[in-house]
Amino acid sequence: MVRVAHALVITVLLFLSLAPLQTISYTRAWPGSITIRDALNRTIVLEGPPRRVASLSPAITETIFMLGAQDRLVAADSYSMSTGFMNISGYCRSHGVVDVGGYWNVSVEKILGAEPDVVFADAGAHRGLLRVFEDNNLTVIYFHGGAARSVDDVYGDIRLAAEALGVGDDRAAAVIGDIERMIDEAHSVVERTGLRGKRVVVVIDASNAIWVAGRGTFIDDVLDRIGLVNAVGEKGWVSMNPEQLAAASPDIYVLLKPVSPRDLEEKGVDLSGVVVAEANETLTDELSRPGPRIGYGALGLAQLLAAAQGGGGEQGGAEPGFTLYALLVSLIIAAALLYAFLARRVASEG
């Protein structure tokens, strides 16, 4: 028995040493400068992997973490600084990452103060800052971000980040592969629960006007990939009135936080006869951030709608964190305790 426990300890330690934890950085050797083409079709020449990166959107920050390059992060937007996913907020606080302000109103002065080698910006929110960045001699790479029109654009952003950071292409492929598997699983949930072909309106804001995800957005592509139909015919992020929403004939309203049914009803939207599914904060982030969590968003959405129509399921996929690591550590501790117990028992019997 002592030998069995000893073997278990060794086996678990070996498995732990081989487990691909999120904090591992895969930096490739650069033969020299490389040329990168960003989402604005600009050409950027990098002389080597950047060691100091400023990220201006939470989706980009999450991508950096998923690629294992968080040690490069020196500045980030306020939404990133408060993100619990992968303990990003805790990491940023403990490592002195500079908060450069909100996604829509970043502070160029604070970015300059962080002295980044490169700025990762969002084409949807920061395109208008390009001249300011250039005037301040900041090297900036634009990602599709909020301007992403499809899940493929999200994949392009992940590959772009991997290339710019000098991490292994295999790591980007692994992240994309995980997204694909979750989208496939979400499609299976939709098929299994009779949701295929349901007409959906995703409401992203109702603080003033009612804003929804139209055609040609990454959310529209997510709906299509999992077997749902976007009831909104207009393209882009669209403001719609109650009459237009009624004309869209949705079967389901998906409300992202902080939108509530009362918000819509107060604006005159008739919710009778339709399913209303309210996303929690986690699912809202997963669906509204065009980054590596989009697969969790797709699966979480399918589960939410299945539950809303009585088919069971919970919101959100099982997001990565340190679950595997914690399990392995627990196994090591258990094996070590068993080994110690058996060793004492053998000694006492001898």
User: Domains of the chain: which residue ranges?
Assistant: 2-10+322-349, 22-167, 176-308
Q: Which residues contact 201 (CB under 8 A, 6 or more apart)?
A: 212, 230, 231, 232, 245, 248, 250, 252, 253, 254
CA–CA gap between residue 21 and residue 16 (Å, rounded): 9
pLDDT tens sequence across 112-124? 999 999 999 999 9
Mean pLDDT over the full length of the chain: 86
CB 68 within 8 A of CB 167: yes
pLDDT value for 315: 61
Nearest one of 141, 52, 50, 154 to 98, comparing CA atoms:
52
- Measured at the CA of 254, the angle between CA 246 and CA 142, to 5 degrees, comes to 110
Q: What is the CB-side half-sphere exposure of residue 48 using CA atoms within 13 A? A: 4
Instruction: Find the helix or strand (DSSP H, E) in which 46 lies.
Output: strand 43-46
pLDDT > 60? residue 253:
yes
- CATH class, range 176-308: alpha beta
**What are the helix and strand counts (H, E) for the chain?**
14, 13
pLDDT band at 18 (very low <50, low <70, confident <90, very high): very low
In DSSP notation, 279-319 reads --HHHHHHHHS-STTHHHHHHHHHHHHHHHTTS---SS---
pLDDT tens digits, 298-342: 999 999 999 998 754 456 555 654 334 334 434 444 454 455 555
State the pLDDT confidence band at 168, using cuts at 50, 70 and 90.
Answer: confident
Which tokens sit at 275? 């399913």
What is residue 150's DSSP assignment? S
CATH class, domain 22-167, is: alpha beta
pTM (2 decimals)?
Answer: 0.82
Residue 15, pLDDT above cutoff 70: no
Phi, psi at residue 108, to the nearest 5°?
A: -65, -35
Burial string for 166-183 (b: 16+ CB within 10 Å, else e) reads: bbbeebbeebbebbeebb
Both structure tokens of 269: 């939207």
Backbone φ and ψ of 208, nearest 5°: -120, -85
Domains 22-167 and 176-308 share a fold: yes
Tell me the average pLDDT across 85-95. Answer: 97
**258: preceding bond cis by omega (within 30 degrees):** yes
